[in-house]
Structure 1
Amino acid sequence: MMSKKQKRPEDIFNFSETSDACIKCGMCIPVCTIHNVNADEVTSPRGFIDLLGAYQKGNLELDKTAKDIFESCFLCTNCVDICPKALPTDMVIEQVRADIAEKFGLAWFKKAFFFLLRHRFTMDLLFKLGYVFQTCGFKIKAEQQSMEPRFRLPIIKKDRLLPSMGKTSFLNANPENIDNGGKRRVAIFIGCLANYNYTEIGKGLLDILEALEIDAFIPKKQLCCGAPAYFTGDFDTVDNNAKKNIEYFESFIDEVEAIIIPEATCSAMIKIDYEHFFHDQPEWQERARKLKDKVFMATEWLQHHTHLEHLLSAKAKNDLIVTYHDPCHARKMQGVHNEPRNLIKQSYVLKEMSDPNVCCGFGGVTMQTEKYHFAKAAGVPKAAMIKETGAQVVSAECSACRMQINDSLYQAEVDTIFKNPIELIAEALKKQ
């Protein structure tokens, strides 16, 4: 079966070809995240691709109803994973969302958010102000690195949990070059949520590299990978950020062993989706392709290219029970699932959920704002699975999953806390 990574660009952008290839077997429906919370044939993978085929053939108008349908997909890739023909349902939906954004425009708050993703200085300033004043509008829950709104705000529901803001971003809190012995050197791409909100992830990664005596290079000019804009249809922001990141990475790629990323979505975007995005810009597609062999999720690289597992096995084991959630962009898009587990279980008791592959329900910017009711519904079974394990900690190498799962646990009144595997590993290394 052709994997998502091997999907040909010409297949991805021909809606009719994808629609005509669907054999209507229905295998995708039971695993579809949106269909499980909104049981309508229209919002199922085969419904999506049928409508996309009709749209490309001129038999469907891209009106507000069609817009609502195409924005209802979580892009979890469950359908791609199980489809006997590996049809790229998620990718064709990503493409039609660009048409939607062009025709209907973007909501004001999305425009503002994506503007910030292009401009690091403005983002830094806003988050610094946000840190100072966040207690005015939110109750801080320090253990979860999250906050609860005190009152209803535009776009923000009062009954939900959001990530709190760090005092100083990871990029601003650390020097560009950190010498840990000079034997080896890697670059760190941190991701926006880990940079501004879940800052313990970056600190933990630096602690791990220090223990391994591997020098860390923190590229200060890195921009958001562009994933939030890509999944929403703002291809201008994707084009801007992807090109600037590629040019910047090229300036140091030969001086590092790898670019390691403790975020599944960022890693998948840079390693896989950049190449797909530049399908009609062959020069940039080739430049993206040349970089990807040095891009790794953090646990993936640490497991296969260091002696970290041996280092952890020599430490005292903690009786803390940890369960692991597989981010869609890790297991399905990059094949990363055993690596974080292998490292976690060296130091903790690992207990699996009944189905760790079930999408947490994050779904992107639109799902978290205009369609939050779907995200909230999708989080219910995941919270129940976590509770069933009896774990004190749930872990996933993805801060988008973290934001969604924290909220789902909060809604279900489950006390389990969330930590990135990098945080757990760093804490284990500090044990005698």
Structure 2
Amino acid sequence: MSIVNITDACVKCGKCIPVCTIHNINRDETTSPRGFLDLLSAYQNGDLELDKQAKEIFESCFLCTNCVDVCPSSIGTDTAIEMVRSDIADKYGISWYKKVVFWFLSHRKIMDLTAKFGYVFQSCGLKVNKEKFSNSMRMRFNLPLVKMIDKTRLLPTFGKKSFLNSYPEFIDNGGEKTIGIFIGCMGNYFYTGIGEGLLKICKTLKINAHLMKKQACCGAAMYFTGDTKTTKKNAKFNIEYFEEILKTVDAIIIPEATCSGMIRVDYEHLFHDEEEWKNRAIAISSKVFLATEYFDKFTNLAEILATKNSSDLSITCHDPCHARKMQGVYKEPRHLLAQNFSITEMSNPNQCCGFGGVTMQTNRYYLSKASGKQKVPMIEKTGAKFVSAECSACRMQLNNALHIDKSDKRCVNPIELIASVL
């Protein structure tokens, strides 16, 4: 696979433009899928220098895959941009604060210690919100060196203890089946209620849970930033670990669309130039599932939920890009939630929330903020109290957008909502 193989397939029909997240904010042909592909082709052919202007353009894509979804040829514009971002990182380097974050995410024991200190001291510089399902905080002051942190933003809070350190590695629920749980960094350190919800569901279903405590960060944050070296290191560790774990578990479930999409889909793209690792990534992907996907397709959870009382919480559903478009998962969480909750669909649940990755949340936060703002009226119009989204990146982004709009609505993972009625 090469950039030119992707760019040459485009016939310039323009069907991608109306659905492009960045083009709907910045209506310029250069920041549209068709424009990206033209520039990528010129770069690959040596007709375009990878200067700072080109860098800014290629970093403005949200990687939402809307263009791939509507393209008659399913051209992988996102894959081509991910490849060129690796070249950008090689030429310009990666910002110091991104390197710091990636280093911590790649060293779990040190991250565990940092999270403990974070929980203890976060109230010193942060205003913490302790509402149900909230897990949010905002700065009392600005940190100018780190552009993603200013006192207008709503951020997730550290949990008192990480999820993986709160329970034994193997939980025997007396079942015939055992599943591995890949919790993801956000669920492990911030939205710990997701893991607690998973364990409650497993106990109800009498499915044993293996917490896979050696799991490494999936590498999505690094991959979308162009840090291919760190991504491959984490990915190879996880592939080897998954291969071993899958000898004793029936499946591995992930309650995070970004992590699941990275492991099931992007690992294959990551190793496009390493055939052995590519094939090993493809092999494990058949045993990895989004949590709601697994529970809906392979268990009787929906039947059990139907016997429980209905909740008085009204909800609407947001479809994470990495769930619906990359993995085809969107019916499953709705089917499970509909057993106990009243669901009011928003006008476009498939529209990207605008999280866009670490670079978008830091260097291009104004674009992320503008994209999130477009989603708020859709949510408000439903009248729902909560937005369900099986992705902590979407959760963080939508909660920030709703906070800025002074809305009392909040985004939560469907696993937590489901567990709340059991």
Q: TM-score, with normalisation over the residues of structure 1?
A: 0.95
User: Which residue of structure 1 lines up, in the alignment, with residue 202 of structure 2?
Assistant: 209
1:90 aligned residue: 78
Q: Which of 63, 68, 90 lines up with 1:75 in the alignment?
A: 63
- Map of 1:55 onto structure 2: 43
The separation in 2 between residues aligned to 1:235 and 1:16, in whole angstroms, is 20
Question: Shift of residue 283 of structure 1?
Answer: 1.2
* SS of equivalent to 1:357: coil
Alignment of 1:120-269 (within 5 A): 120-143=108-131, 144-153=134-143, 154-155=145-146, 156-269=149-262
Equivalent position of 1:426 in the other structure: 419
Cα shift at 1:24: 1.4
Q: Which runs of 4+ in 1 moved over 6 A?
A: none
Note the C-alpha offset of 1:98.
0.2
Q: Determine the C-alpha separation between the residues in 2 that align with 1:386 and 1:182.
A: 40
Matches within 5 A, 1:2-401: 10=1, 13=2, 15-143=3-131, 144-153=134-143, 154-155=145-146, 156-401=149-394
Gaps of 5+ in 2: none
Question: Does the 8 Å contact 1:17/1:53 carry over to 2?
Answer: no
Q: Shift in Å at residue 248 of structure 1?
A: 1.1
In 2: Cα distance, 1:199 partner to 1:388 partner: 29
CA distance in 1, matches of 2:305, 2:226: 43
Partner of 1:6: none
How far off is 1:281 after superposition?
Answer: 1.1
Counterpart of 1:25 in 2: which secondary structure?
A: coil
Alpha-carbon distance in 1 for matches of 2:247, 2:214 = 17
Post-superposition offset of 1:21? 2.1
Cα drift, residue 157 of structure 1: 2.0
User: TM-score, normalised on structure 2?
Assistant: 0.98
Deviations, residues 373-425 of structure 1 (Å, cap 9, x unaligned) = 00000001211111110001111000000000000000111111222100011
Counterpart amino acid of 1:289? I
**What is the Cα deviation at residue 319 of structure 1?**
2.7
- Residue 124 of structure 1 aligns with an amino acid whose one-letter code is D
Q: What SS class does the counterpart of residue 63 from structure 2 fall into?
A: coil
Superposition deviation, residue 238 in structure 1: 0.7
Please report how far the alpha carbon of residue 178 of structure 1 lies from its aligned counterpart in structure 2 after TM superposition: 0.3
Aligned residues of 1:352 and 1:389 also touching (Cα < 8 A): yes
1:322 and 1:391 in contact (8 A); partners too: yes
Q: How has the CA–CA distance of structure 1 residues 284 and 300 changed in structure 2, closer, same or farther, with 3 Å as cutoff?
A: same
| CA distance in 2 between partners of 1:183 and 1:221 (Å) | 24
CA–CA distance in structure 1, aligned partners of residues 6 and 218 of structure 2: 27
Deviations 1:285-344 (A, max 9, x none): 111111111100000000010000000001111232110000000000000000000000
Q: Distance in 1 between matches of 2:312 and 2:267?
A: 41
Tell me the CA shift for residue 213 of structure 1: 0.4
Q: Which moved more, 1:57-66 or 1:148-157?
A: 148-157
Deviations 1:174-202 (A, max 9, x none): 10000101321100000000000000000
Superposed CA deviations along residues 218-247 of structure 1, whole A, max 9, x for unmatched, are 011101000000000000111110011111
What is the alpha-carbon distance in structure 1 between the residues aligned to residue 238 and residue 189 of structure 2?
19
2:65 counterpart letter in structure 1: T
**Matching residue's letter, 1:290:** A
Counterpart-to-counterpart distance in 1, 2:392 and 2:186: 6
Letter in 1 for 2:26: N
After superposing the two structures, state which structure 1 stretch, 279-288 or 383-392, moved more: 279-288
Equivalent pairs: percent with the same residue?
60
Query: Secondary structure of the equivalent of 2:262?
Result: helix
Task: Please name the residue that 1:4 is paired with.
Answer: none
Partner SS state of residue 19, structure 2: coil
Q: Give 1:367's aligned amino acid.
A: M
- Structure 1 CA distance, aligned partners of 2:55 and 2:135? 34
For the 8 Å contact 1:268–1:330, the answer to whether it is kept is: yes
- Quote the Cα distance in structure 2 between the aligned partners of 1:103 and 1:204: 43
Equivalent pairs, count: 417
Task: Say which SS state the counterpart of residue 186 (structure 1) adopts.
Answer: strand
**Is the Cα contact below 8 Å between 1:118 and 1:240 reproduced in 2?**
no
Aligned-partner SS, 2:158: coil
Deviation by residue 1:115-147 (Cα, 9 ceiling, x = unmatched): 112111111111111111111111001222111
Determine if contact 1:267/1:297 at 8 Å carries over to the other structure.
yes
* Alignment gaps of 5+ in structure 1: 1-9
Contact 1:16 1:54 in 2 (8 A): no
